[in-house]
Amino acid sequence: MNDLSMAKTAPQARFDVDAVRRDFPILGQQVNGKPLVYLDNGASAQKPLAVLDAMDRYYREMHSNVHRGAHTLGDRATSAFEGAREKVRAFMNAASTREIIWTRGTTEAINLIANGLAQRLKAGDEILVSQMEHHANIVPWQMMAERTGAKVVPVPVTPAGELDLDSFNSLLGDNTKILALTHVSNVLGTINPVAALVEQAKARGVITVIDGAQAVPHFQPDVQALGCDFYMFSAHKLFGPTGIGALYGRAELLEEMPPYQGGGEMIERVSFERTTWNTLPYKFEAGTPAIAEAVGLGAAIDYLDGLDREGMQAAEDALLVRANELVETVPGMEIIGTAKNKVPVMSFKIEGLHPSDIGTLLDQQGIAIRTGHHCAMPLMDFYGVPGTARASFAFYNTMEEVEQLFTALQKVQRLFA
């Protein structure tokens, strides 16, 4: 059963993965004497030349502070920066750039929202989250609950790693004020039926916050079609730079929320008697922003726009199909997260092996995966494991890499058998 050739063959993808890989210089290197096989894309994705070049060009040709309007470089920087905001707006299909706020990433965006919504909450109110949330979509709500007397209520998942919809229906009640849900689980790969759940929540006047961190690398969100009030993601998982992310918020709600941080840029007028806030989106953008990073994110979106998105998704799906076929070639291997609708993320355990040993031994063979609790301890508790090993694929991964992963896993398993 250890012979990979015995596995069924997955459908061939149309997507030209070799051409795409040439856009990612980091992928061409050797690690520990072996060609790098990068399967830790869920933690952070690699960057195409288009992003590196855009950031380099920004610093070489146009860097200055933004929104100061005093000179030509300032104008160039501002138009590059605001141009990137427009790209993010289009990417998420938001109605207006007023609804796109720059943040440091998903984590900061959720903290901003939790802070902003605190004034709406009172003791006894409930914030519905799921058991598959990343800590970034649990802890800010717990901190807010502590301040207000509200309660964080988790919706359980099924053993397959899908949201338990019966429990969702019974937990969504009169006390629910906020639904904070991940679009895609970073551990299980599950794609939650967000549009339907948001519709149910909205019918009860519940505010909906969707964590898109793991969705955007695989498909484009449409915030108007989803109907959610807030949606956020991090650029570094979308093949863009670290240190920046975007938050979509419905203008009406953003208008009524207090600012998150005080300082320059977010004010209209400051005096010791009374300070007033800037208009959207600047009210939430205190201080000098991450300008080059915004430009880099804009370049990442342009890069993705230039790819055959359908072909890319088909190729990613084919990687997961192949990986699932090969599971039986590794004795004692078990997948955690077998939802019907999932992105190419494969969490697994191998009987008798600690996830961190799997990670270390794969690294020696040039293969990068993630091991541990994946910032999802409540989910680990549900599955009764301290952690898992996780291979997360991107569109630049190849079938050969999937097969190399399994050949390496067979070796690892034999070492401990």
Ligand X SMILES: Cc1ncc(COP(=O)(O)O)c(C=O)c1O
Residues 74/64, Cβ–Cβ less than 8 Å = yes
What are the Cα distances from residue 404, in Å, to 71, 171, 252, 328, 365? 54, 44, 51, 15, 9
Comparison of 221 and 366: residue with beta carbon closer to ligand X:
221
CA dihedral 334, 337, 340, 345 (to 10 degrees): -100
Which residue from 339, 113, 340 is spatially nearest to 210, judged by alpha carbons?
113
Instruction: Give me Rg for the CA atoms of the chain.
Output: 22
Q: Smallest distance, Å, CB 300 to ligand X?
A: 14
Q: Smallest distance, Å, CB 106 to ligand X?
A: 4
Q: Smallest distance, Å, CB 64 to ligand X?
A: 27
Residues 37/405, Cβ–Cβ less than 8 Å = yes
Q: Is 228 a catalytic residue?
A: no
Q: Smallest distance, Å, CB 297 to ligand X?
A: 12
Residues 92/238, Cβ–Cβ less than 8 Å = no
Calpha distance 390→60 (Å, rounded): 39
Comparison of 106 and 371: residue with beta carbon closer to ligand X:
106
Tokens of 27: 């992928």
Which residue from 277, 285, 191, 286 is spatially nearest to 246, judged by alpha carbons?
285
Element (H, E) at 334: strand 333-336
Element (H, E) at 22: none
Residues 232/246, Cβ–Cβ less than 8 Å = yes
Tokens 């995966």, residue?
Answer: 369
Q: Smallest distance, Å, CB 105 to ligand X?
A: 3
Comparison of 294 and 361: residue with beta carbon closer to ligand X:
294
Comparison of 291 and 375: residue with beta carbon closer to ligand X:
375
Element (H, E) at 209: strand 207-211
Contacts of 384 (CB under 8 A, 6+ apart): none
Instruction: State residue 227 phi and psi, 5-degree precision.
Output: 80, 10
- Out of 375, 376, 380, 405, which one is annotated catalytic? 375
Comparison of 108 and 413: residue with beta carbon closer to ligand X:
108
Tokens of 354: 């600690």
Q: Smallest distance, Å, CB 109 to ligand X?
A: 8
Calpha distance 417→412 (Å, rounded): 9
Comparison of 98 and 134: residue with beta carbon closer to ligand X:
134
**363-39-183 Cα angle (round to 5):** 140
Neighbouring C-beta atoms of residue 305, cutoff 10 Å: 12
Q: Report which residue type is found at 334.
A: E
Tokens of 387: 């952690």
Binding site for ligand X (CB under 6 A): 105-107, 134, 136-137, 182, 186, 211, 213-214, 234
DSSP symbols for 41-103: TTT-----HHHHHHHHHIIIII-S-SS--SSHHHHHHHHHHHHHHHHHHHHHT-S-GGGEEEE
Q: Smallest distance, Å, CB 178 to ligand X?
A: 16
Q: Smallest distance, Å, CB 407 to ligand X?
A: 28
Comparison of 209 and 353: residue with beta carbon closer to ligand X:
209
Q: Report which residue type is found at 392.
A: S
Comparison of 45 and 408: residue with beta carbon closer to ligand X:
45
Indicate the SS3 state at residue 161: coil
Residues annotated catalytic, as ranges: 375
